Structure 1
Amino acid sequence: MHKIKDVMSRDVQVISPDATIAEAARRMREGDFGMMPVGENDRLVGAISDRDIVVRGLAEGRDGTAKVRDVMSDGIRWAYDDETVERAALIMAQYQIRRLPVINHDKRLVGILALGDVAVKERKVKPAAEALCGISEPVPA
């Protein structure tokens, strides 16, 4: 069974909560990803997704100058780098997320695990399939 650190991407970008949502959107476009961890004072304080920008930003009448902190999701989900990919897939399915920040035991952000990493690099199809099914299910009201 693979460990998360064996399949995660170490090229992870963090954005400040004081950055604008326009900057977040630009960086997501340039990096071709839909979520960024939000960091302040060397701590993860949340995450911002392309969906957050649209639903909590633009749909509520904010423009590109709105701050990341105004639209980001609090309570970021993460996993330790030495946990199994299967464990990460379960977290991704449970919380319906496609990109999972990865930290070491010193609580430092060391990477990010995308659903595609699970699907492509994990030999077993089951963890990726379970995560995708969990992510695709509607959230109970």
Structure 2
Amino acid sequence: MKIRECMSTDVRIARPDDTLETVALAMAEIDAGVMPVSEDDRLVGMITDRDIAVRGVAHGLGPEDLVGDVMSTEVMYCFEDEAVEQVLNNMGDIQIRRLPVLNRDKRLVGIVSLGDLAKTDVRAKTGTTLGDISRKGGLHSQTTDGIGLALD
């Protein structure tokens, strides 16, 4: 099975110059914890509800501050024609629960979550992946990247 068969295609996109309040309201409206960030038709980052709280609010930023101040700029992604099992393995290795999905022209076409993949024929593998994702630390720890401030 390919990622295109289980990804969500209804994806809202933020811009780096959107305010944290605007994005938080959009996340609440669509009941999502993550939004891709795009600029000039290119994916430039990802912002999560945790980014807003841990990188933003915990460091004194307010609702008027910008997405670009707290988003992750190192974007991990997968391609729509990749096999589900390959993406699951990758998600575990890089400790990420959601990935933007790109076509081979590197245009955003969807987003895939661990929950989406749990509904596929490789659902038994999702438990192992969740264990891998849940390891302490990793590339995308909210306390070590983004605005570059480590919490003590």
TM-score, normalized by the shorter chain, greater than 0.5: yes
| Structure 2: 5+ residue stretches without partners | 140-152
Question: Are the counterparts in 2 of residues 18 and 67 from structure 1 also a CA contact under 8 Å?
Answer: yes
Question: Are the counterparts in 2 of residues 89 and 130 from structure 1 also a CA contact under 8 Å?
Answer: no
1:81-100 aligned within 5 A: 81-100=80-99
Q: What is the TM-score normalised by the length of structure 2?
A: 0.87
Instruction: Give the C-alpha shift of residue 140 in structure 1.
Output: 5.9
Question: Are the counterparts in 1 of residues 94 and 138 from structure 2 also a CA contact under 8 Å?
Answer: no
1:76 aligns with 2:82: no
Question: Are the counterparts in 1 of residues 18 and 67 from structure 2 also a CA contact under 8 Å?
Answer: yes
Per-residue Cα deviation, 1:92-121 (whole angstroms, up to 9, x for no partner): 21222211100001111000001110001x
Instruction: Give the C-alpha shift of residue 79 in structure 1.
Output: 0.4
1:114 aligns with 2:113: yes
Partner of 2:32: 33
Residue range with higher mean Cα deviation, 88-97 or 48-57 = 88-97
Identity %: 47
Instruction: Give the C-alpha shift of residue 134 in structure 1.
Output: 1.1
| Structure 1: 5+ residue stretches without partners | none
Question: Are the counterparts in 2 of residues 98 and 135 from structure 1 also a CA contact under 8 Å?
Answer: yes
Question: Are the counterparts in 2 of residues 3 and 82 from structure 1 also a CA contact under 8 Å?
Answer: yes
What amino acid sits opposite 1:113 in the alignment? V
Partner of 1:137: 135
Q: 1:117 to 1:20 in 2, by over 3 A?
A: same
The size of the alignment, in residue pairs, is 139
Distance (Å, rounded) in 1 between the aligned partners of 2:17 and 2:42 = 14
Distance (Å, rounded) in 2 between the aligned partners of 1:65 and 1:114 = 29
Distance (Å, rounded) in 2 between the aligned partners of 1:108 and 1:96 = 23
Question: Are the counterparts in 2 of residues 92 and 131 from structure 1 also a CA contact under 8 Å?
Answer: yes
Distance (Å, rounded) in 2 between the aligned partners of 1:75 and 1:140 = 13
Q: CA RMSD in A?
A: 1.4
Q: What is the TM-score normalised by the length of structure 1?
A: 0.93
Question: Are the counterparts in 2 of residues 78 and 102 from structure 1 also a CA contact under 8 Å?
Answer: yes
